[in-house]
Amino acid sequence: MKNNIINSSKAPAAVGPYSHSVLANNVLYVSGQLGLDPVTGEMQATVEEQAEQALQNLGEILKEANMSYRDIVKTTVFLKNMTDFVAINEIYGKYFSENPPARSCVEVAELPKGGLFEVEAIASKQE
> CB of 95 within 8 A of CB of 69?
yes
20 is catalytic: no
Per domain, the residue ranges of the chain are 4-124
Query: One of 19, 105, 113, 125 is an active-site residue; which one?
Result: 105
The CATH classification number of 4-124 equals: 3.30.1330.40
Percent of the chain at pLDDT > 90 equals: 90
Three-state SS at 27 = strand
Looking at residues 17-39, what average pLDDT do you find? 95
pLDDT band at 1; cut points 50, 70, 90: low
Burial class (CB in 10 A: 0-12, 13-18, 19+), 34: buried
What's the chain's average pLDDT?
Answer: 94
Contacts of 99 (CB under 8 A, 6+ apart): 70
pLDDT score of 127: 63
Instruction: Give the pLDDT confidence of 39-77 residue by residue, as tens digits.
Output: 999 999 999 999 999 999 999 999 999 999 999 999 999
The pLDDT of 96-114, averaged and rounded, is 96
